[in-house]
Amino acid sequence: MTSVSSSPSLHSANLASPSAEGFADVLVGLQYGDEGKAKIIDALAPGYDVIARFNGGANAGHTIDTPSGRIALKQLPSGVFHPHATLYIGSGCAINPWKLAGEIEQLREMGISLEGRLRISARAALVQPHHIAMDRRGSGTIGTTGNGIGPCYADRALRVRNDTRVNLMLGDLLKSEVDAIASMRDVFTRMINAEGGTSPWIAEMSDMLLSLPKVTETLRRYIEADRGWLTDRVRNGANVLFEGAQSVLLDVVDGSQPYVTSSHTVPAYAYVGGDLSPKYHRRTIGVAKAIMSRVGRGPFPSELGGERSAQYCHDASQSRTGATEEQVRYSPDKLLRSSDPFDVGTALRMLTGEYGTGTGRPRRIGMLDLAQLREVIKAHAVDCVYLNKVDCLAHYFRSAYQGVPMRVHRDVLSSDVVPDVLIYPGLNERSLTLGREGTLDAAMHGFVDFVERHIGAPLAGIGLGPERASLISLATHQRVPVTAPSPHD
Ligand code: IMP
């Protein structure tokens, strides 16, 4: 058995740059979002000076447990609880100023001031009331989060509608708040009139506009007009960790249309939306989870229960069925023993808490897809991977699978007769328990090596529980050489 460390400092070992200039690493989710990126960032943050967002907005969400309670953040980077770290929100983000001011205020009430620590690009796109109304009205097909993110990015590209500028940026609030508010009111009113003069959200949107001056006042001191702010920091030696929102498979171009988010989620975009030259890129860190999930519509090859699960979760999100209703209706232990993968998926969702952070929607559940990870890792040259929720695989031992089902790439096992789904038998609850205590036994080593061989990248760490100490660094883990994916895969 090898002792491994769960200390955050190990995760950030070897991060110091010998040169005077700093560097940037990019951390992205490798699946469909909600892989637990915030937990990894929390562990890595001590090794960086700046934690920066480069895409998305209030459609993202991370829950952080703090000594003063649980806090759900949507737009602020995950490093808020590391006082040494500066937080940057780049021009690639879509800002909901009301919600962002709310997050800042919530932290202030917890005694955490962001004064002097937070910079937000003045060129970040501004989410306006009509974006939210449009998104709520049209969210069904894709299953968007209804935060107005898609319409906001669409207006950024459209620039002008009916002779009115619609691509407002955060800085426009500072330049001429009165004009910006008048423009938003005008566009919203025209939209309502075109729809026959009614909308369920008129009062709410009107209130939002009325409160905007106060919100602007809160944000004013954090808005950064200098496009070169992050570059200057890095040139002066700062190390940056870019934090991707959503995940690579939801990229607006690279993902499976139309079931994607509306911004670029791939690591390369960090250097556009994050306002830094790619010259400073050092490494790409991926985060995946062993029990996979997806919210909203779209392909999910390893989904337990396939189309039935997709439809069930869609209907449940429409009828606002969430964790509470499922707990009343079903017994997860009973479902787990069913021979129907749909039941197993439902049980895993209940046992592992897979419900939307912001929306409470039941997430679609899937088995670990190593074949898909392999493709994503290769496409984006991901250097290392953190695999979360490995402890949750223990539930499979009580299921009809009697092992861990995983999708694998036929080429890796170089056999024509190998099925796409393989049941991995060699892990047991004892291995997972030992792992939580910081010791990996032979079975756990075997699992780690198996995963590495299949995805073609080293595992930097595994998550064996929700708490900080359960993130096990594999930095000292004795490993067999990793087989890189061949160019013909
Ligand atoms: P939008 O980003 O709100 O436009 O939603 C588009 C798609 O991306 C939907 O399927 C959403 O459920 C999904 N999505 C957006 N943000 C997240 C996230 O943070 N985690 C997981 N899925 C997300």
Per-residue confidence band for 318, with pLDDT thresholds at 50, 70 and 90 = confident
* 452 is a domain residue: yes
Q: Which tens digits make up the pLDDT trace of 214-257?
A: 999 999 999 999 999 999 999 999 999 999 999 999 999 999 99
User: Domain count of the chain?
Assistant: 4
**Residue 317 Cα to ligand 1 middle (Å):** 13
CATH value at residue 138: 1.10.300
91 falls within a domain:
yes
* 5, pLDDT greater than 70: no
Distance 139 CA to ligand 1 centre (A): 11
Q: Which whole number is the average pLDDT over 471-483?
A: 60
Who wins on pLDDT, 257 or 417?
257
For residue 295, which atom of ligand 1 is closest to its CA?
Answer: 12
CA 308 to chain centre: 25
Q: Are residues 232 and 99 in the same domain?
A: yes
Which atom of ligand 1 lies at the shortest distance from residue 245's CA? Answer: 19
Condensed to tens digits (0 to 9), the pLDDT of residues 188-224 reads: 999 989 888 787 888 899 999 999 999 999 999 999 9
Pocket test for ligand 1, best of 62, 246, 247, 364 (most atoms within 8 A of CB): 246
Higher pLDDT, 26 or 61: 26
Domain boundary residue among 220, 245, 269?
Answer: 220
Any idea what the Cα angle at residue 65 is, between residues 432 and 328, rounded to 5°? 75
Do 483 and 13 meet the contact criterion of CB atoms below 8 Å apart? no
Determine the distance separating the centroid of ligand 1 and the alpha carbon of 145, expressed in angstroms. Answer: 6
Q: How far is the CA of 296 from the centre of ligand 1 (A)?
A: 7
Binding site as annotated, residues for substrate: 357-363
Residue 5 lies in a domain: no
Stronger pLDDT, 222 or 17, i.e. the higher one:
222
| pLDDT above 80 for 17 | no
pLDDT of residue 36: 94
Domain assignment present for 294: no
User: Over the stretch 284-298, which tens digit does the pLDDT of each residue have?
Assistant: 999 999 999 999 899
Q: What is the pLDDT of residue 39?
A: 92
Give the per-residue pLDDT at 201.
Answer: 84
Other beta carbons within 10 Å of 299: 12
Backbone angles phi, psi at 364, to 5 degrees: -70, 140
Question: Rounded to the nearest whole angstrom, what is the distance from the C-alpha of residue 302 to the centroid of ligand 1?
Answer: 19
Regarding whether 390 and 436 lie in a shared domain, the answer is: yes
Q: Are residues 358 and 373 in the same domain?
A: no
264 in catalytic set: no
List binding-site positions for GTP. 33-39, 61-63, 363, 389-391, 463-465
Give how far Cα 375 sits from Cα of 25, 372, 457, Å: 21, 5, 11
* 236 shares its domain with 108: yes
478 inside domain: no
Which of these three, 201, 220, 239, is where a domain ends? 220
Q: Is the pLDDT of residue 367 over 90?
A: yes
Name residue 397's amino acid: F
Is 62 catalytic? The answer is yes
Given a cut of 90, is residue 435 above it in pLDDT? Answer: no
Please state the three-class secondary structure of the chain as a single string.
CEECECCHHHHCCCCCCCCCCCCEEEEEECCCCCCCHHHHHHHHHHHCCEEEECCECCCCCEEEEECCEEEEECCCCHHHHCCCCEEEECCCEEECHHHHHHHHHHHHHCCCCCCCCEEEECCCEECCHHHHHHHHHCCCCCCCCCCCHHHHHHHHHHCEECCEECCCEHHHHHHCHHHHHHHHHHHHHHHHHHCCCCCCCHHHHHHHHHHHHHHHHHHHCCEECCCCHHHHHHHCCCCEEEEEEEEHHHCCCCCCCCCCCCCCCCHHHHHHHCCCCHHHEEEEEEEEECCEEECCCCCCCCECCHHHHHHHHHHHHHCCCCHHHHHHHCCHHHHHCCCCHHHHHHHHHHHHCCECCCCCCECEEECEEHHHHHHHHHHCCCCEEEEECHHHHHHHHHCCCCCEEEECCHHHHCCCCCCCEEEECCCCHHHHHHHHCCEECHHHHHHHHHHHHHHCCCEEEEECCCCHHHEEECCCCCCCCCCCCCCCC
My answer on whether 208 and 233 are in the same domain is no
The answer to whether residues 386 and 246 belong to one domain is no
In this predicted structure, the answer to whether residue 6 has a pLDDT above a threshold of 60 is no
From 144, 257, 259, the mutation candidate for ligand 1 (largest count of ligand atoms within 8 A of CB) is 144
* Claim to verify: residue 60 and residue 103 sit in the same structural domain: yes
Of 439, 359, 432, 446, the closest CA to residue 389 belongs to 432
Q: Tell whether the torsion through CA atoms of 324, 325, 331 and 336 is positive or negative.
A: negative
What is the pLDDT at residue 163? 87
Residue 212 falls inside a structural domain: yes
* Residue 392's CATH number: 3.90.170.10
Binding residues for IMP: 34-37, 59-62, 145, 159, 246, 261, 361
463 DSSP β-pair partners: 471
Residue found under tokens 């920066």: 52
Distance between CA atoms of residues 162 and 315, nearest Å: 37
Give the CATH number, domain containing residue 82.
3.40.440.10
pLDDT at 412: 63
Tell me: do 112 and 229 sit in the same domain.
yes
81: in domain: yes
Please indicate, yes or no, whether residues 328 and 400 belong to a single structural domain of this protein.
Answer: no
Backbone angles phi, psi at 486, to 5 degrees: -75, 155
Average pLDDT, the chain: 89
Burial of 283 (0-12, 13-18, 19+ CB in 10 A): middle
The yes-or-no verdict on residue 93 having pLDDT over 90 is yes
Tell me which residue has its CA closest to atom 1 in ligand 1.
144
Q: Which residue has the higher pLDDT, 285 or 488?
A: 285
In terms of domains, do 207 and 147 share one? Answer: yes
Question: Which residues line the annotated binding site for Mg(2+)?
Answer: 34, 61
Structure tokens at 251: 């990229």
Q: Which two tokens stand for residue 211?
A: 């409160």
Q: Which of 132, 252, 261 to mutate to test the pocket of ligand 1 (most atoms within 8 A of CB)?
A: 261
Dihedral sign of CA atoms 33, 39, 44, 48 in order: positive
**359 Cα nearest atom in ligand 1:** 12
In this predicted structure, what is the pLDDT of residue 437? Answer: 77
Check 62, 82, 264, 395 and give the catalytic one. 62
Task: Kindly give the number of the ligand 1 atom that is closest to the alpha carbon of 298.
Answer: 10
Distance (Å) from CA 16 to ligand 1 centroid: 34
pLDDT at 414 over 90: no
100-144 pLDDT, tens digit per residue, is: 999 999 999 988 999 999 999 999 999 999 999 999 987 678 889
Range of the domain at 456: 368-473
Q: Is the pLDDT of residue 4 over 60?
A: no
* Residue 396 included in any domain: yes
Instruction: For ligand 1, pick from 96, 295, 317, 361 the residue to mutate: most ligand atoms within 8 Å of CB.
Output: 295
Same-domain status, 249 and 101 = yes
**Domain termination site, one of 366, 389, 406:** 366
Same domain, 40 and 167: no
CB-count burial class (<10 Å; 0-12, 13-18, 19+) for 286: buried
Q: Is the pLDDT at 411 greater than 70, yes or no?
A: no
Q: How far is the CA of 295 from the centre of ligand 1 (A)?
A: 7
For residues 307 and 299, what is the distance between their CA atoms, to the nearest angstrom? 9
Ligand 1, CB cutoff 6 Å, lining residues: 32-34, 59-61, 142-145, 147, 149-150, 246, 250, 259, 261-262, 295-296
